[in-house]
Amino acid sequence: FYWDVVARHCGDTVIVVTHGMALLALAAALRSVHISEYWHNKIFIGNTSVTIVSFASGVPNIELFNSVEHLTE
């Protein structure tokens, strides 16, 4: 899914809304680690959290992961 979105929207800004498990699977794939790494380290995705992934020069970069800063107001 991710690579399809990148190919279709090269140079665009895209928002994807998803559930936490799908985001964990994407993060694991982008980091080339098994998703169990997140489970063993008890990393969970917070409700309404924000994750930003950029894609430049053929390389994905997780710029922000699981941020809930917007909830502090």
pLDDT block averages, 10 residues each, the chain of length 73: 80 84 85 82 83 84 89 77
pTM of the model: 0.73
Contacts of 62 (CB under 8 A, 6+ apart): 27, 30, 31, 51, 52, 53
What single DSSP character describes residue 12?
S
C-alpha 7/C-alpha 36 separation (Å) is: 28
Question: Residue 46 is inside which H or E element, if any?
Answer: none
> What pLDDT does 73 receive?
64
Bridge partners, 60 (sequence order): 55
